[in-house]
């Protein structure tokens, strides 16, 4: 896994064509090298990256993490969900809000699972720097995961 964010919550840091000229060739060398050793390549990419998602797939990137909700996660799943494993899809900004309710968190997680889980190639993930609801988030992940993928082996 390599970390290199290409966007913020609303836009890419640079025009897609600029990314293609300046960064893509160098990233391609890294992806090719990793694959040459028989290893999957996962790319950490916070923020908005939807305009270059197809480029990432064309490069052979096996997984991306996280797919933030700043991207249109329904479109991302429909267009690329069979081509690249997607991690995330959670509204982590909501999870860290001081005035969020448990039901808002549960509904947000359910919504993300409804979009991202069907068809597989999805790993739910939500790294949050602060949430008083860490246990609730984990419980809802397990509940939704069991609904889509079956019970955990230790609960079967």
For 69-95, the pLDDT digits (tens) are: 999 999 999 999 999 999 999 998 888
- The arithmetic mean of pLDDT across residues 49-69, rounded, is 96
Instruction: Write down the mean pLDDT value for the chain.
Output: 92
Encode burial over 30-46: b for 16+ CB neighbours within 10 A, e otherwise: ebeebeeeeeebbbebb
> According to the model, what pLDDT value does residue 151 have?
79
Structure tokens at 137: 């988030």
What percentage of the chain carries pLDDT values higher than 90?
72
State the average pLDDT over residues 127-143: 81
> How high is the pLDDT of residue 62?
98
pLDDT of residue 128: 67
pLDDT, tens digit, for every residue of 62-74?
999 989 999 999 9
pLDDT at 126: 83
More confident call, 84 vs 97: 84
**Rounded mean pLDDT, 92-101:** 85
* pLDDT for the residue numbered 131: 64
Confidence of residue 130 (pLDDT cuts 50, 70, 90): low
pLDDT (mean) for 30-45: 97
């Amino acid at each position: 896994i390599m970390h290199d964010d290409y966007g913020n919550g609303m836009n890419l840091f640079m025009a897609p064509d600029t990314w293609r000229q300046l960064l893509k060739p160098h990233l391609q060398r890294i992806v090719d090298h990793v694959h040459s050793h028989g290893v999957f390549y996962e790319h950490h990419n916070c923020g908005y990256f939807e305009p270059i998602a197809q480029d990432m797939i064309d490069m052979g990137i096996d997984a991306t993490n996280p797919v933030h909700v700043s991207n249109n996660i329904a479109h991302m799943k429909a267009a690329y969900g069979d081509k690249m494993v997607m991690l995330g899809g959670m509204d982590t900004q909501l999870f860290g809000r001081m005035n969020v309710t448990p039901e808002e968190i549960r509904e947000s997680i359910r919504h993300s699972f409804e979009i991202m889980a069907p068809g597989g190639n999805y790993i739910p993930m939500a790294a949050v720097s602060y949430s008083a609801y860490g246990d609730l988030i984990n419980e809802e992940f397990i509940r939704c995961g069991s609904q889509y993928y079956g019970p955990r082996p230790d609960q079967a």
